[in-house]
Every structure is written in C-alpha cells, then in structure tokens.
Amino acid sequence: MPCYRCGARQTDPVRGASPWKRGVRHEAQVLVCPDCQRAPDLDLDACATCTSTTLICRLGEVECRACGLVRLAQASSPGTPDLSALSAEVEAALNRVLGRK
Ligand SMILES: [Zn+2]
Ligand SMILES: [Zn+2]
C-alpha cells in the first residue's frame, strides 16, 4: 500500500518497527510515509476518546491502538456489502430453487 498523501511506496521492510504510520482516513486504512507524517495538514481520523490518530480499520470496525476503543466504521465504508440487498438476492435464488412463485 503506498502513502495515501504522496503515493510513495514502502521500500524494503527493515527489521523492527516500520517508520511508516498506519492510520484511518475517511473510514479507510491508510499508510503514511515518514516524510508525510511531519506534514501539518495530515487529514487522519482521530480517536474520539484520546485523539490519537494511531487507528486501525478492519471488518467494519475502527480500533484505537492507543486506548483500545473500538467503534463501528460508518456505513459508507467502501467494501462493506449491503446485507439487505444480499439477503433479498439469496431469498430470490431460494425461491427459484424451491420453485416458489
Ligand atoms: Zn508520503
Ligand atoms: Zn483512543
């Protein structure tokens, strides 16, 4: 994953902690390169409790690495399937298989 801000690609992983920073921006996981971490206009989502921007986004949840707070990502999160549309599709398929009208 490249830096969300400048598009730089992470070079060979060095042993130990990566200088790249993980964050969440608009409900999506992003990486920030060491240069851009110093930018004053970093537009990362911050934890509502401790204002840390060290967040990770996974499976519709955003977790704060600093205080452990977990909140649901907003519904507009890309890649989240629309479950109601999905279940309607499954029901229609079942109806076809079972010969229901
Ligand atoms: Zn960058
Ligand atoms: Zn926090």
Q: Is residue 47 part of a domain?
A: yes
Could you give the angle at the alpha carbon of 79 between the alpha carbons of 76 and 85, nearest 5°?
Answer: 75
Q: Is residue 15 part of a domain?
A: no
Q: Is residue 52 part of a domain?
A: yes
* Residue segments in the chain with a per-residue pLDDT below the cut of 50: 77
Query: What is the reported pLDDT for 79?
Result: 55
This prediction's pTM: 0.64
**How far apart (Å, rounded) are the C-alpha atoms in residues 33 and 31?**
7
**How far apart (Å, rounded) are the C-alpha atoms in residues 37 and 97?**
55
Query: What is the reported pLDDT for 83?
Result: 64
Query: What is the reported pLDDT for 81?
Result: 56
| Number of domains making up the chain | 1
Which residues have CB less than 5 Å away from ligand 1 (the ion)? 3, 5-6, 8, 33, 36
Structure tokens at 35: 């240069």
Q: Which residue has the tokens 């707070």?
A: 69
Query: What is the reported pLDDT for 3?
Result: 95
Query: Which secondary structure element, helix H or strand E, spans residue 89, and what is its range?
Result: helix 83-98
Query: What is the reported pLDDT for 7?
Result: 96
Ligand nearest to the CA of 65: 2
Q: Are 52 and 66 in contact (CB under 8 A)?
A: yes
Query: What residue numbers bound the domain in which 40 lies?
Result: 21-98
